[in-house]
Amino acid sequence: MSTWLLLTITGLGLGAMYFLIASGLSLIYGLMGVLNFAHGAFITVGAYASWWTEAHLFSGVHSITLRFLLAALMGLLVGGVFAALVELILIRPLYNRHIEQVLVTVGLSIAFVALVQGIWGPDPQAFAVPPWLHETTTIAGAHIPNDRWIEIGTAAAVLGLLQLFLRRTRYGLIIRAGVENRAMVQALGIDVRKAFTLVFAIGGIAAAVAGVLSGVYFNVVGPDQGTSLLIFAFIVVVIGGLGSIGGSAAAAVVVALTQQYTNYYASAGVGDMVVVLLLGLVLLARPRGLAGAVVGARA
């Protein structure tokens, strides 16, 4: 029982990171029709910005917890700004030109990994976090690392905030209306381009949150960390339904738990293969994913 509970909570923590990445992907694609292969760079930006600012900018702060929180906030800020700049400079001229979007975002992803390796080297960097995050809480005999609770709670908060943003705020309504009929919204004197830049910034912040939490989860940050996590996030998005944030949340749980259980009860690495097989089965049985979403603000 304790082993199963540990695997389940750990799997939910991993699923939380998958969802945080997938939510940004799903938001950007669902609202804007942009399949962003550079999303892994947003993860890396958030992770490295948090790591660097903690070691250099906030090194004089004596409280480890406060230093970590300040560095994490800086990582989110840098991730959001970086994503907004990508939209302004690279994506905005390429709306409705999907092949060019793919080429540009893939190229940016490759170039960014090379840039990070050139500056900080290819080796992972130790990620300092408050010691209590690596302590455990015992439940039913299972010693569960505390950081798993933080990851799960953060993902749940992000899911709720995204739903509120899209359904209850002015900008959320503008974005949804702009996707349906951009010309009409612009005729009303509303600049839809600013709203679309905001979508990219929000997606970048969600990815940066995943970058920071991945540093906590793995204890290190590395140049390829964003790319490796992005692969499973894409699987989550496809299984959940392109453009569906709720579907991505459900799929993240299914994928992470399948991966955890299979890797433990079968053999290490088998879980990755089973997840790919699960993707194939979903595509054969339900090509539009679990939520059956289409482009156009389905949440």
Q: Which domain holds residue 180?
A: 2-285
CA angle 36/42/43 to nearest 5° reads 115
Three-state DSSP string of 66-96: HHHHHHHHHHHHHHHHHHHHHHHHHHHHHCC
Query: Which CATH number goes with the domain that contains 120?
Result: 1.10.3470
In a domain, 110, yes or no: yes
> What is the domain count for the chain?
1
In a domain, 298, yes or no: no
Q: What DSSP element (H or E) covers 138?
A: strand 136-139
166 pLDDT exceeds 50?
A: yes
In a domain, 18, yes or no: yes
In a domain, 296, yes or no: no
In a domain, 132, yes or no: yes
51 pLDDT exceeds 90?
A: yes
In a domain, 68, yes or no: yes
In a domain, 13, yes or no: yes
Reduced to 3 states (helix: H, G, I; strand: E, B; else coil), residue 291 is: coil
Whether pTM exceeds 0.85: yes
DSSP state of 37: T
Would you place residue 295 in the very low, low, confident or very high pLDDT band (cuts 50, 70, 90)?
very low
In a domain, 148, yes or no: yes
Tens-digit pLDDT profile for residues 54-109: 988 887 888 888 999 999 999 999 999 999 999 999 888 887 787 888 899 999 99
Mean pLDDT of the chain: 85
